[in-house]
Amino acid sequence: MSTVKNYLSLVKFSHTIFAMPFALIGFVLGVTNYKYYRVFTSSAHSLFDGFPQNFFLYYPKTWIEVGVRLLLVVICMVTARSAAMGFNRYLDRHFDAKNPRTANREIPAGIISASNALSFVIGSSILFVIATYFINPLCFYLSPVALFVILFYSYTKRFTYLCHLVLGVGLSLAPIGAYLAVTGNFDTLPILFSFAVVFWVSGFDIIYALNDINFDQSHKLYSIPAVVGTKKGLRVSKLLHSASAICVLLAGYYGSFHLLYWLGVLLFIGMLFYQHSIVKPNDLSKVNIAFMTANGIASVVFAVFVIADVLIN
């Protein structure tokens, strides 16, 4: 049991709270989008000739099928994030050992060996690809692309201050990926939510990076705060969060949502304002509250209101 706890700590499993709610939004939007309520067409079958017939899990038509598809989406979310976070810990293990804030993490502390962590990453990646195989061909074919994006992020801090945006792109795959898992099609609304996630995650990752600004500068690691300083870094974070707010407003307009959605938007934007009100250039004592608490509440509450609005109306 302690081993499981150690690996959950390695990948910061509690941080799943950021992207998972948006994946559920994408999933519900897909299930309720009845224009995709059909099996794959004959042209789709000819396109994927050679695959076994049970490979084509079409749009779910019963609650059991919806439940199975949801389980597969959750498995994909958990395994993909576990692979990404585990790889980040593996790749950064030498930096983590030198940083007083991170020296007690599992790999530098000797709780989990580097080789075991890498095996965990490989295993999680394989499980992710297998899960996409049982969803639909499009998700299966795109699974290597998704893995590349989320794993590549771990390298970016070594050569670009835009690493925060790469992280945002990685997490933004949640709503559009879950939507694709149901419909097998791209659509504007889940893409708008994905852009909201890009800017939201990038913004709060900049706030989190304030914890290591001195360490990053001394070890030539890239981050926006390390390049432009604390004050300007917070300004960039505010701009990104403003862009995220605009995206959820556009999504509400485009999707013709109702009162519950707009209440969710109000609370989501309110939490963005809140985290910037408690983190100041001369007072970084509440960075972790802004990072974990404020954004965790923002994603969960927003998802609850959006999903309720979709299902009720």
What's residue 50's pLDDT? 45
Measuring CA to CA, which residue among 145, 144, 267, 153 is closest to residue 201? 153
Q: Is the model more confident about 213 or about 47? A: 213
What's residue 1's pLDDT? 63
Mean pLDDT of the region 3-24: 81
The percent of residues above 70 in pLDDT, for the chain, comes to 89
- The answer on pLDDT for 224 being more than 80 is yes
- The answer on pLDDT for 47 being more than 60 is no
Mean pLDDT of the region 134-153: 93
pTM over 0.85: yes
Least confident of 16-20, 157-161, 193-197, 249-253: 16-20
- The answer on pLDDT for 37 being more than 90 is no
The tally of CA atoms less than 13 A away on the side-chain side of residue 131 is 22
Least confident of 4-18, 31-45, 134-148, 260-274: 31-45
> What residue ranges define each of the domains in the chain, with the CATH number in brackets?
2-312 (1.10.357.140)
